[in-house]
Structure 1
């Protein structure tokens, strides 16, 4: 064992209290990230603390608006059933294209432009 129990508890406390993450602890103390995680668990269990909740990751992606603007709601209310279905299909197609890393933008009636966001797809 490289560190005493007191030192391991101190490393675990720092990770548990988000002063450093397990990867920073691994580099700073010359241990593996898994060992750093075990030190944090040891600290948590010894002090009878609740498990840390994971933070949502954003991966650098833009946040989508969940609720449409009031002006958009008025537009949707004025649309016919067929127009709403068509808009929904278009939205789903756009969503799937974005998942694959590209988007098609219409410049004018006859021209479409392809915008690629990633060099490789996830598949």
Structure 2
């Protein structure tokens, strides 16, 4: 479970910053640029954290994923832009669902959520 998921997580975080997905955040009004930057940072910190979690401890993966979901939800509440707020709320829900399954050792939902997050969040940050 661990190495494939960590690879997917790291790849997803790289994609959040690559190709200008979050680079266009400054063009958005209000606090969207900061929220997008903080979102990228939250994902980076999550990847760093789960790299140290043993594969044999899926409950710890679930807890870390729950914390990321809560952090993304908090960022959604801060977002001034409605599209960004909606994207972050949806991402938080996906992460919560993934946390429940990864906590039992099934990383498929987490892997899918992390692979798709850059496009979903990047689209909202680039609008």
TM superposition score normalised by structure 1: 0.29
Higher helix share: 2
Q: TM-score, normalised by structure 2?
A: 0.28
Larger Rg: 1
- The structure whose RCO (Cα within 8 Å, separation 6+) is larger is 2
Which protein has the bigger strand share?
1
